[in-house]
Structure 1
Amino acid sequence: MLLLTPGPVQTHPSVRAAMAEDIAPWDAAFRPFYTRLRERIRAIAGGVEGEHVTLPLQGAGHMILEAAIRTYVAPGGAILIPMNGEYAVRMARLAREAGREVVELHAPDTRGITPGEVAAALAAHPECGHLGMVQSETGSGIVNDPAAIGAVVRAAGRRMILDAVSAFGALPLDLAAQPEMDAVVFTSNKCLEGLPGFGFAVARVDRTEQCAGNARSWSLDLSDVLANSRQNGMGSLRFTGPVQTLRALDVALDRFDAEGGRAVRLARYQANAAALHRGLKALGLKPYLEEADQGPIVVTVHQPAGLVLADFVAALKRQGVTISSYFTTEAPSFRIGAIGDIGLPEIAQVLRAVEAALAELGLRQAA
C-alpha cells in the first residue's frame, strides 16, 4: 500500500527495520547516540552551538507545540496567530486552553500571510509579545514564509514560535538568521521521513532559561527538558518514550544526508507536487490552489459533484493507495501528500489510481 497522506508518510524499509530492537534508554550505551541525534537535528535547523538546543518530547506535533506555547508565552500573555488554515485554528485552541490570550489575524486559506498584514496587526496589538505561525498548512497546501514574517516580528521587538511540523527538513529555515524565534517545533515524521513518536523543539537557550516556570505543567515544560539535560547530560531522557522511533530517525537522517540534505529533498517534493497538481488538473479535477500558491507538501483538490469522500478513499485503497480520509479546508476537498519516500514513479501510480477510482464510482465525467 502506498501511503500518500501529509503525515504519517511513506518510509524506507531500512527506517522501519530500525524499530525492531529492544532499547533501554537509561543504559549508558544509549547516551552518546541520543546526544549525537540532538546535535544532528539542531544542525538541520541552522541552530548555533551554545545558542540553540534540541529539546525532545515524546508525542505528537500538537504536544510539542503546546509545550512551546506554555514555555515561551507567559501565563496571561497574548499571542498573535495568522489564521489561514486548520492548523492555525488548532494552535489558537492550544494557546487558549493553556490560559494565553489569542489575537487572530484572519486571511484566506488559499494564500500565505503577508509581512504587511503581520506588521499592521502587531502595531494594532501591542499586548501581543509573540507571533505563532504555521509554516506549512496541510489542509490546503499553502506555505507561510518564516523568514519574511520573522523580519517583521524582529523589527517590532516581538518573539516568534514556528510550527514547522509538516515543513521541517524540506522548507527553508535558518535559526541563526532569526534571533527573534524562541523555538521551531516539528516531529520525527513528515519531511524527515522517520516514524511518528517524538516531537522536537529547536530553541534558544537563553529564552528557555528565562521562561522557567511559565509552563505550569511538568510534562509540557521545555525549560524542564533543558534543565534535565544540564543536570544529567544531553544523552538523558526525563521520562520513558518510544525510543525505537529515535533509532529509526537516525537511519532516516542518514538517508537525508545521503540524498543531499534539505535543498535536494525540497526539490524532490516540489517535483512531486507539481506533477500531482498538473496530473489532477488533467483528469478534470480543480486544484484548491493556483499553481503559484501551491506548496510542496500536499496537493488539495475540490471534491467533484457527487463524490462521497469515504467511498473515494476506499476505492483508492482498492488501487493500492491511501490518502487522508478527511478534509480541513473551507470548501469540501480531498488531499494527496507529496512527501515521504516517494518520487515521480509513485506520483504516476497515484494519478492512475485516482482515475480508476473516479471511474469505479461513476464520477469520471463529473470530474
Structure 2
Amino acid sequence: MKRNILLNPGPATTTDSVKEALLVSDICPREQEFGELTQDVLNKVVQVVNGELTHTAVIFTGSGTAGVEAALSSVVPPEGKILILDNGAYGKRAETIIQAYGIPYRTHRLVWGDYPDVDTVEAIFKEDSELTHFVFVHHETTTGMLNPLPELLELCRKYEIDSIVDAMSSYAGLPIDMRELPIDYLISSSNKCIQGMAGTSFVIANKEKLAKTAEIRPRNLYLNLWGNHSYIEKTGQFQFTPPVQIVYALNQALDEFFVETQVGRTARYVKSYETLLDGLEIAGLELLLPKSQHSKLLTAIVEPDSPGYDFMEMHDYFYQNDITIYPGKGAKQDTFRIANIGEIDYRDMLVFNKLLLQYFEDKKIM
C-alpha cells in the first residue's frame, strides 16, 4: 500500500494494520458482538489517560467538533456561565458553538500566538462570580502552542469551576494523567495522536459531574452527552448508527498505542520534532513561538520574505513527493505549519528536511 507522509495536524498517517482493520465482515451494529467491541473501545479510550476510577467515555459519530459541541451544549446549566479562552482558531470555534446555543459566556480573547497569562485568568475568575465552567484548548494547532494545562486546572480547582479541555491534538501524543490532572471533561477524536481514522469523537467525562448533567434540559438530541451515555450504559450500543469500520480501526489503533506506550509515542514524536527543528535552522527559517511554548507536535513557521516563495507551489512540490504540508490559520504572523504526529518518525522528517532545502535552493529562497 502506498505510504504518504502527512505533516498536517490530522487525520494523520496510519499503520497498515489500522487500515486493514477497516476490512471487516459486514455486521449489524445492534449485534452483541459489536456492542462488546464498543465497550472495549470506550474502556481503552479512558485508560489512555488513566481515568478508569473516575471517568467514563461518551463516543459520537462525527469529527472532533462534534465532541466539542456535545460537551459545550450539554454541561452548562441554564443558570451557568462559561469562560472561553480564545488564543487560536479552536478557542474561537468554541465561542461560535456557545453563541449558537445562546449559553451565557465570557471570552478571554488574545492575539492568536500570544500565551495566556495565568494571573489574568485568575483575575477574571475573581471578578466574575457567575462563572461555572471554563473551556480552553490544550494544544492549539493554529500556532502549535501548548497552553498551561496544570496551572489552568489548578485555578479551576481553586475557584470550583468545571474544566472542559479540548485535547483534540494532544490526547495520546502527550502524557495526560487524570489522577494528577483532574479534568472534568476532556475531548478528543480518533484521527489525531491516537492514530486511527477520522469519523468518531469522544468526551472523557468525570462520572459524578456527568451524572449531574442529567438534570439539564437537553439543547439537542444527537449530541446530548447524558442522553448518549445513558443509552449506551443501558443497551451496550451507540444510540445512533455508528461508523462501524471506523470503530474497528480505532480499536486497533488503541491496541497499538498500548504496545508502544505513552512514553514511547511521546519520545518518537519529540525526536521527530527535534529533527524538524534542525532542518528549519539550516534553512534559516523563523519559528512563530518561543520554544518554551511549543507543543512539540506541530510547529508554526514564519513564511519567508522572498519573491521566490509561494506556499501553494511549495505544497504541490511536496505533495508530488508524497508529503503533505499545511498552510497557516490566521496567527499573528503569516505561517505554514508542519505537524509530526501519526505513524511517522525522525527518518520521515529527514526526508522533509532534505526536500525543503532542495526546494529553497532551486527557488533561491535561502
TM tier, smaller: over 0.9
The number of residues matched between the two structures is 359
The residue aligned with 1:290 is 290
* CA positional deviation for 1:76: 6.0
| Structure 1 stretch displaced more, 272-281 or 152-161 | 272-281
2 CA distance for matches of 1:103 and 1:267?
38
Q: Give structure 2 stretches of 5+ with no counterpart.
A: none
TM-score, structure 1 normalization = 0.93
The residue aligned with 1:161 is 164
* CA positional deviation for 1:106: 3.0
State the secondary structure of the residue aligned to 2:94.
helix
Aligned pairs for 1:135-284 (under 5 A) are 135-179=138-182, 181-212=183-214, 213-233=216-236, 236-259=237-260, 261-284=261-284
* CA positional deviation for 1:61: 0.8
Counterpart code for 1:159: D
2 CA distance for matches of 1:8 and 1:109?
23
* CA positional deviation for 1:363: 4.3
1 CA distance for matches of 2:132 and 2:271?
38
Q: Give structure 1 stretches of 5+ with no counterpart.
A: none
The residue aligned with 1:98 is 101
- Contact 2:326 / 2:337 at 8 angstroms: preserved in 1? yes
1 CA distance for matches of 2:150 and 2:355?
38
The residue aligned with 1:329 is 331
State the secondary structure of the residue aligned to 1:316.
helix
* CA positional deviation for 1:215: 3.5
Q: What RMSD over aligned residues (CA atoms) do the two structures have, in Å? A: 1.7
2 CA distance for matches of 1:356 and 1:279?
12
Pairing 1:315–2:317 present:
yes
Pairing 1:60–2:63 present:
yes
1 CA distance for matches of 2:124 and 2:297?
28
2 CA distance for matches of 1:46 and 1:108?
34
The residue aligned with 2:48 is 44
The residue aligned with 2:85 is 82
* CA positional deviation for 1:224: 0.3
Q: Per-residue CA shift, 1:231-281, capped at 9, x if unaligned? A: 213xx111112121111111111211111x212211211121122123112
TM-score, structure 2 normalization = 0.93
- Contact 2:298 / 2:337 at 8 angstroms: preserved in 1? yes
1 CA distance for matches of 2:113 and 2:331?
9
Q: Per-residue CA shift, 1:51-98, capped at 9, x if unaligned? A: 321100110111110110011112463211222211111111111112
2 CA distance for matches of 1:148 and 1:299?
23
Distance change in 2, residues 1:127/1:153 (3 Å): same
State the secondary structure of the residue aligned to 1:175.
coil
State the secondary structure of the residue aligned to 1:82.
strand
* CA positional deviation for 1:318: 2.1
1 CA distance for matches of 2:173 and 2:274?
15
2 CA distance for matches of 1:205 and 1:293?
32
1 CA distance for matches of 2:359 and 2:318?
6
